[in-house]
């Protein structure tokens, strides 16, 4: 999770301090690419598409709030599904066993978090 900055910068490590997560949107129009970055409790960061595998809703009800109060799990605000931050796997709720779609990111030495795949649909970032 470190290296040269090649793609769009979506946030910085410092941006994660307040809530442990940060949403981003890339592109304009009705269907921009929506994702979020989370700080993993064990260290490092992960990014996922902001689409719940249960019913396809965005996970956040309030901007940049993707984690439980303890910051241990990602939570979907719609129906309460809980996901492991390091894998995106749903561990409780209506979609247990399904996973968030990962987005590959890199962290620069300056703490900028950037997309590895900068294509509009993130075709190379999909984990399934």
- Which residues make beta-bridge pairs with 47? 37, 103
Query: 3-class DSSP state for residue 96?
Result: coil
Q: Least distance (Å) from ligand FES to the CB of residue 93?
A: 5
* Inter-residue contact 48 to 89 (CB < 8 Å): no
Closer residue to ligand FES, CB minimum distance, 1 or 55: 55
Q: Least distance (Å) from ligand FES to the CB of residue 110?
A: 34
Size, binding site for ligand FES by CB under 6 A: 11
- Backbone φ and ψ for 4, nearest 5 degrees, come out as -70, 150
If residue 90 lies in a helix (H) or strand (E), which one and from where to where? strand 90-92
* Positions in 16-55 near ligand FES (CB under 6 A): 52, 54-55
Give the integer Cα–Cα distance in Å for 26 and 14.
20
Centroid of chain to Cα 89: 12
Closer residue to ligand FES, CB minimum distance, 95 or 113: 95
Site string for ligand FES, 57-96 (x = CB under 6 A): x------------------x-xxxx-----------xx--
Residues of this chain that bind ligand FES (CB under 6 A): 52, 54-55, 57, 76, 78-81, 93-94
């Amino acid at each position: 999770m470190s290296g040269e900055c090649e793609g769009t910068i979506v946030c910085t490590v410092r941006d994660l301090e307040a809530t442990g997560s940060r949403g981003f949107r890339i592109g304009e129009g009705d269907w921009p690419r929506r994702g979020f970055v989370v700080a993993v409790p064990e260290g490092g960061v992960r990014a996922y598409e902001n689409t719940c595998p249960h019913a396809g809703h965005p996970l956040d009800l309030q901007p940049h709030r993707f984690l439980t109060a303890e910051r241990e799990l990602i939570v979907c605000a719609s129906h309460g599904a809980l996901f492991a931050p390091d894998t995106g796997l749903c561990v409780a709720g209506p979609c247990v066993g399904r996973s968030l779609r990962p987005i590959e990111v890199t962290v620069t030495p300056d703490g900028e978090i950037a997309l590895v795949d900068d294509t509009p649909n993130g075709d190379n970032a999909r984990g399934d």
